[in-house]
A and B are shown apart, each in its own frame.
Chain A
Amino acid sequence: DTGVSQDPRHKITKRGQNVTFRCDPISEHNRLYWYRQTLGQGPEFLTYFQNEAQLEKSRLLSDRFSAERPKGSFSTLEIQRTEQGDSAMYLCASSLGMEREQFFGPGTRLTVL
């Protein structure tokens, strides 16, 4: 399978704990995006990388959120001190470059108890 992969697919955590998600983009894609989707809503942009550089961050990305893409390959999204409002599907997407379509992974479903 050469699509975007995400790990884990599901994560249940208690309020106040830290969680980290991983995204592996399509191998030749240099752009990587993170979105968040809640029930009944479309995905909302969080941040994106061109290679290892983080070029844009949404106001949705509070100080508790941090994303990295070391060496321009896989990316991680960490949420510190999770809150119940963080419960959502976290989606990763990648694209070959500017002006190109974004291909999404299966998502990580986060539930904060």
Chain B
Amino acid sequence: EDQVTQSPEALRLQEGESSSLNCSYTVSGLRGLFWYRQDPGKGPEFLFTLYSAGEEKEKERLKATLTKKESFLHITAPKPEDSATYLCAVRRTQGGSEKLVFGKGTKLTVNP
């Protein structure tokens, strides 16, 4: 069964203090790893899609990387507005399913 584990569950940073969030996955035939940002009471907001090991994508202070077993979301010099829950999800090839399997998320708080 597909599994996605995110760590840590919660992370507190000072403004400007860089760090990384981890997403470990077990899936039969990865067909995309997705990162989303979710603010309280809102739907997830799409950030990145990664398809193969070694791939990297960047957006402002965020950089996502992918290996065969895990993905990292690096946050460089975060600001308070980066505070949110970051969700990781995978999609697999088996059975042609298009569903996303999500982790529980990492709740990031950036203090000014």
Contacts and interface: CB of A to CB of B under 8 A. Distances in A.
B98 A48 contact: yes
Q: How large is the interface on B (under 10, 10 to 19, 20 to 34, 35 or more residues)?
A: 20 to 34
Q: How large is the interface on A (under 10, 10 to 19, 20 to 34, 35 or more residues)?
A: 20 to 34
Contact of B102 (A33, A42, A107, A109): A42
9 closest Cβ contacts across the A-B interface?
A: A42-B102, A104-B43, A45-B99, A104-B44, A107-B43, A106-B43, A101-B46, A43-B102, A105-B43
21 contacts: A4-B43, A31-B98, A33-B98, A40-B104, A41-B104, A43-B44, A43-B87, A43-B102, A44-B102, A45-B100, A45-B101, A48-B99, A56-B97, A56-B98, A93-B43, A95-B98, A102-B34, A102-B46, A103-B46, A104-B45, A106-B43
